[in-house]
Amino acid sequence: MGEHRRFWVACRGSEACLVPLTVSVPGLGEALAEFCFEEEPELYLGFGDESSRPWTFDLDELLALLLGRWSRFDLVTLDPMPQNDAGIMLRLASMGRDDLLDYLMTYGGPGRRMRPWPAYRSKRRKTPWVYAT
């Protein structure tokens, strides 16, 4: 019940969040690469990549980024595979940003409060919502 979920995103540069790692998903376009386990972004980047590093975010921080700075991404790929021929796997691991937001906003269970916010418009929902802290 007191679980604090963490997520990882590899970002280029010295400041977190500025330039997140993206992957090209065949037939779907550019997607934000989001990782669910701490080791995954390091394995994806390779241990010698100095230009990018993994940053960790809690659920509220990730929601704020997806609704704000990273709202330009319509697609998110969860735990992408690093192989060049991983096309079909990238498609299977990808989902719309709105679908991920819907999931994340309900992840915390009944204790989460929601309030309308015009910047987020779910395709399935008539009224836009955002997580309120």
**Sheet containing 6-12: order of strands:** 19-20, 6-12, 52-58
Instruction: Say if pTM beats, i.e. exceeds, 0.75.
Output: no
Q: pLDDT at position 126, please?
A: 47
6-132: what fold?
Trna Endonuclease; Chain: A, domain 1 (3.40.1350)
Beta carbons of 60 and 131 less than 8 angstroms apart? yes
Q: Angle at the Cα of 35 (from 34 to 39), degrees rounded to 5?
A: 150
Backbone φ, ψ for residue 40 (5° rounding): -60, -50
Beta carbons of 63 and 104 less than 8 angstroms apart? yes
d(CA 62, CA 116) in angstroms, rounded, equals: 18
Q: What is the pLDDT along the chain (133 residues), one digit of tens a residue?
A: 345 678 999 887 666 677 898 888 888 999 999 998 888 888 887 755 567 788 889 888 888 899 988 999 999 999 988 776 677 888 888 999 998 888 887 765 444 544 444 444 444 444 444 444 4
Return the closest-CA partner of residue 10 out of 28, 35, 29, 47.
35
